[in-house]
Every structure is written in C-alpha cells, then in structure tokens.
Amino acid sequence: MDLPRGIQVVDGPAGLPLLRLESRFGTAEISNYAAHILGWRPAGHEEVLFVSPAATFLPGTPIRGGVPVVFPWFGAHAVEADHPMHGFARRSEFELEESTAAGEHLRVVLGRTDDASSRQVWPHPFQLRIELELAEAVLRFRVRVTNTGAEPFRFSEAMHSYFAVSDVRDITVEGLQRSRFLDKPHAYRARDDEEGPIRFGTEVDRVYERAPTTARIIDPGLGRAVQVHSHGAASKVVWNPGPERGSAMTDLGPDGWQRFVCVETGNVHGDDLDLAPGAEHVSTTELRVTRLD
C-alpha cells in the first residue's frame, strides 16, 4: 500500500516497525503488532504516552506501555486460567487497511479478523479495527468491532492507555469524583469515590462502570493536563501498581511505577457488550493536552 505524505514506516524500539504519522500537529506512532499505539507528541508538548524502558518487543508478548488493545475479555479469562490476560488482540498482528491524509489531518486503520489461533480461545467470527487520527491538538482512536458470524456474542474491549507523568505521587486524576467503582485490590468491592480527585502512592486499580465521559490527569511537575474523553465507552479504569507490585514487574523496573498512570476507556465488567450478527459497535477516545496556568 502506498502511504500518503506524512505517514511512513520507521524502525521503533528493538527494530519493531512502526507507522509514524507526522504533521505540524505533532507526531504519533502505531505498530502493526497488536495495533499498539506507542507514541504521541503534540506540537509544543513533550511525549504524552509512557512506554517502559524495560518493555519486551517480541512476537506473542504484550508491550508494557503505550496504548494496548484489550479484546475480547478484560483481565483474566472468566473460566480458562491459561487463556491470555486481557484477551489475544494485544499479542497478535494487524494489517494496515487504510491510510489517508486530508491536509495535516492524518489517519490510519489497522484491522484483524478471526483466525485459527483466535478461535482456539474465543470461537466467534469477528472483525476488529483500530483507527488512529492525528489532528490539531487531538489524538483520536476508535475501536470498531463487527460480528461477522451468525450468532450473537458478548465481549469486553478497552484501550489500556499509559500516560507519562513527572511522578505519580504528585499528580491527580479529576472528573470521576462521587462515581461508584469496583476496587480490585479489595476483591472488587463496590465503593463510592471520595469527594476529591484520585491520588496515588499505593496500589490503585479501579473500574468505573457507567463512568463520566471525561477525566483529566493534572500534572504540576510537567505543567500540563491531559484530558481523556470518550463516547461509546461506558467504563473507565484507573490503575497504578504502586511500589510493591510495581517493583516486582520485570518489564517495568523498580522505579517505573512512578512514571505513569493508566486512565483507560472501554466497556468492561458490567458494561460488557452484546453484539448481534452483522452488528457493529464503535467506541471513540480523544486525548487533548493543555498547559496549566
């Protein structure tokens, strides 16, 4: 496929080929491997996404950081303990289906369908597309799931976004106050969020069902706020492993937990989706960066 001006193939970490989108609005990178978004640097700002320096870039291995794709289940499989965590999409190859440039507005679409390997763990015909758009002051990505079979299926999907921060102990996440969440470190007990913003320093792993559409990461150390806005995605997940769990993660490193926060968008747990034959579901996430006064 011929690529339009502003989109090219480059060597990424460990020689991983990436599609780079570059215009006066900034740069973004996505890999055919897992349709994994690995970078976004809006014009006038530092890198927004976090990729661990200790991440592994090998076929069949999920990459620690960036924006992995979670599909068709979230977390551990409900029945089969040997099935991959967060589904198979983040461990598989996608194909470039479209690449377009409308002036400085750049867009790529990567997709995959069911195959023998996916049907071993999830016996449903499907089409999964990840669309990435680089526009003025915005990075936009969509998850488009189509049921190509003759029977309905139920699925989870999420974009597991890792955001770079100066120090997670000094940041806050706003916009989810007074929302109910499932608290994973406490056996998924349902809790009502506190009045103030979310703060970090110990393990935080929260699933907000039917969540507000917009959350903001406030980072005084970098002097910026990152807005995470979604539609078609009812859930938000906020995660940081904290020092104990984080230091034990070999693809993160002992201090890596301090350098990121995950604010994820999707449809998980009570927001799982049922899709009829021939039906399609689209969820969209938009990221914006602004400077703090």
pLDDT for 212-268, tens place per residue?
999 999 999 999 999 999 999 999 999 999 999 999 999 998 899 999 999 999 999
Please, what are the averages of pLDDT over each run of 10 residues along the chain (293 residues)? 93 93 98 97 97 93 97 92 92 96 96 96 98 96 98 98 98 94 92 87 96 97 98 98 94 93 97 98 98 90
Residue 56, token pair as written in the block = 């592994």
Residue 174, token pair as written in the block = 């706003």
Q: Is residue 221 part of a domain?
A: yes
Burial class (CB in 10 A: 0-12, 13-18, 19+), 274: exposed
Residue 71, token pair as written in the block = 């599909």
Whole-angstrom distance, CA of residue 63 vs CA of residue 82: 19
Please tell me the predicted confidence (pLDDT) of residue 147: 98
Q: Is residue 197 part of a domain?
A: yes
Q: Is residue 2 part of a domain?
A: no
pTM of the model: 0.97
Whole-angstrom distance, CA of residue 232 vs CA of residue 9: 31
* 233 Cβ neighbours under 8 A, 6+ residues apart: 143, 158, 159, 265, 266, 267, 283, 284, 285
**In total, how many domains does the chain have?**
1
Residue 265, token pair as written in the block = 């968008």
Please tell me the predicted confidence (pLDDT) of residue 195: 77
| Structural domain containing residue 223 | 7-291
How is the chain classified by DSSP, letter by letter? -PPPTTEEEEE-GGG-EEEEEEETTEEEEEETBTTEEEEEEETTS---B-B-TT----TTS--SBSBPEEBS-SSS-SS-TTSPTTBSGGGSB-EEEEEEEETTEEEEEEEEE--HHHHHH----EEEEEEEEEETTEEEEEEEEEE-SSS-EEE-EEE--EEE-S-GGG-EEES-TT-EEEEGGGTTEEEEPPSS-B--SS-EEEEETT--SEEEEEETTTTEEEEEEEES--EEEEEE-HHHHHHT-TTT-TTGGGGEEEEEEEE-GGG-EEE-TT-EEEEEEEEEEEE--
Please tell me the predicted confidence (pLDDT) of residue 81: 86
Please tell me the predicted confidence (pLDDT) of residue 170: 98
Query: How far out from the chain centre does Cα 39 lie?
Result: 12
Q: Is residue 128 part of a domain?
A: yes
CATH code (residue 116)? 2.70.98.10
Q: Is residue 1 part of a domain?
A: no
